[in-house]
Structure 1
Amino acid sequence: MTAFLATLGGKLADTWLSLLVLPGLLYLAVMSAASVLGHGHAFDHGRLTGRIDTLAGGPAAHSPGSVVLVAALVLAASAGVSRLAAALGGGVERLWLGDWPAPLRPAARALTLRRVRRWITADDRYRQALTARALRAAADPLGVHVPEADEDVAPGTPRNEGAVDTVQLNEARNLIALTRPARPTWMGDRLIAADARVHESYRIDLTAAWPRLWLLLPDTVHQNVQAARAALTAAARRAAWGLLYLLPALWWWPAALIVAVTWAGAWRQGRLAVDEFAELVEAAVDLHGRDLANALGVPCEERLTTAEGLEITRILRKGA
Structure 2
Amino acid sequence: MKLDTPAKAAFDTFGGRFLLVGYLPTYAGVLSILILFWAGAPGKLNFSQAWHTAVQLGLGELLLVVLAVMLTAAVLQPLHLRMIRVLEGDWPTWAGWLARLCTRRQRRCHARLARAAMAPPNGATDTDIQRAGQAGALLVARFPPSRLRPTALGNALAAMEARAGAEYGWDATVAWPRLYPVLGPQARTLVDDRRNTLDLTARLTVTATVLAVVTAGLLAQSRWWVLLALAPLALAVLAYRSAVQAAIAYGETVGAAFDLHRFDLLEHLHLPLPADQAAEQAANEKLCLMWRQGAPTNLVYRHQPINESG
Q: Please give the range of the TM-score, normalised by the shorter of the 2 chains.
A: 0.5 to 0.7
1:291 pairs with 2:257: no
Aligned mate of 1:266, from 228, 239, 246: 239
Which amino acid is 1:249 matched to?
A
Deviations 1:274-311 (A, max 9, x none): 1221111100111112333454524335xx62431221
The answer (yes or no) to whether the contact 1:235–1:269 under 8 Å persists in 2 is: yes
Task: List alignment gaps of at least 5 residues for structure 2.
Answer: 220-224, 297-310
The answer (yes or no) to whether the contact 2:165–2:172 under 8 Å persists in 1 is: yes
Correspondence for 1:108: 99
The answer (yes or no) to whether the contact 1:232–1:274 under 8 Å persists in 2 is: yes
1:213 pairs with 2:218: no
The answer (yes or no) to whether the contact 1:85–1:237 under 8 Å persists in 2 is: no
Correspondence for 1:202: 168
Change (3 A) 1:212 1:196: same
Distance 1:274 1:228 in 2: 8
Distance 1:249 1:236 in 2: 21
1:277 pairs with 2:282: no
Correspondence for 1:308: 280
Distance 2:135 2:258 in 1: 27
1:168 pairs with 2:159: no
Q: Which has the higher contact order (CA 8 A, sep 6+)?
A: 1
Deviations 1:238-290 (A, max 9, x none): 22321232213331435324313421342233123212211111001111123
SS in 2 for 1:165: helix
Aligned mate of 1:29, from 31, 34, 55: 34
Change (3 A) 1:112 1:52: closer
Deviations 1:91-141 (A, max 9, x none): 4422222322333344224432442354246435644x35xx3xx4xxxxx
Distance 1:215 1:13 in 2: 20
Correspondence for 1:64: none
The answer (yes or no) to whether the contact 1:293–1:308 under 8 Å persists in 2 is: no
Distance 1:31 1:214 in 2: 44
SS in 1 for 2:281: helix
The answer (yes or no) to whether the contact 1:191–1:278 under 8 Å persists in 2 is: yes
The answer (yes or no) to whether the contact 1:30–1:248 under 8 Å persists in 2 is: no
Change (3 A) 1:84 1:238: farther
Distance 2:2 2:117 in 1: 64
Runs of at least 4 residues off by over 6 Å: 1-4, 6-9, 11-18
The answer (yes or no) to whether the contact 1:208–1:317 under 8 Å persists in 2 is: no
Within 5 Å, which residues of 2 pair with 1:1-320?
19=23, 22-23=27-28, 26-36=31-41, 38=43, 45=47, 52=53, 74-75=65-66, 77-79=68-70, 82=73, 90-120=81-111, 122-123=113-114, 126-127=117-118, 129-130=119-120, 133=121, 136=122, 160=124, 165-172=128-135, 174=138, 177=143, 179-180=145-146, 182-198=148-164, 200-246=166-212, 247-250=214-217, 251=219, 252-253=225-226, 255-294=228-267, 295-300=269-274, 305-318=277-290, 319=295
Distance 1:277 1:86 in 2: 21
The answer (yes or no) to whether the contact 1:238–1:266 under 8 Å persists in 2 is: yes
The answer (yes or no) to whether the contact 1:89–1:240 under 8 Å persists in 2 is: no
Distance 1:316 1:115 in 2: 30
The structure with more radius of gyration: 1
Say what the alpha-carbon RMSD is for the aligned residues: 4.3
SS in 2 for 1:245: helix
SS in 2 for 1:267: helix
The answer (yes or no) to whether the contact 1:23–1:78 under 8 Å persists in 2 is: no
The answer (yes or no) to whether the contact 1:182–1:189 under 8 Å persists in 2 is: yes
